[in-house]
Amino acid sequence: VGGNKSQEYTISGIVPNTTPPKNVQVWITPSIKKSVDGTLTAMNTTNLFQFDFINNMFGSGIAKCYRGALSLPITNNDDQHDITEVEIKVSFPTQTSVSVTEAYFLNKGELPESGATITQNSGTITITGFPPISDGDLYYVVLKFNETLDGDIVRTVVQATFN
What CATH number has the domain bearing residue 71?
A: 2.60.120
Residue 3, pLDDT score: 57
- Does residue 9 sit within a domain? no
DSSP state letter for 94: T
8 within a domain of the structure (yes/no)? no
Q: Summarize the confidence of residues 92-111 as an average pLDDT.
A: 90
State the residue range of the domain holding 132. Answer: 31-162
For residue 112, being part of any structural domain is answered with yes
User: What is the pTM (predicted TM-score) of this model?
Assistant: 0.85
Residue 106 forms part of a structural domain: yes
Higher pLDDT, 93 or 100: 100
Compute the mean pLDDT over every residue in the chain, rounded to the nearest whole number.
90
Higher pLDDT, 143 or 61: 143
CA distance 23 to 14: 11
- From the number of C-beta atoms within 10 Å of its C-beta (0-12, 13-18, 19+), residue 86 rates as buried
Q: Which residues contact 13 (CB under 8 A, 6 or more apart)?
A: none
Domain assignment present for residue 11? The answer is no
Domain-located, residue 16: no
Please report the pLDDT score of residue 107 as a whole number: 92
- Asked if residue 19 belongs to a domain, the reply is no
Q: Would you say residue 44 lies in a domain?
A: yes
How many domains, the chain? 1
Buried b (16+ CB within 10 A) or exposed e, 126-151: bbeebeebeeeeebbbbbbbeeebee
* pLDDT for residue 109: 86
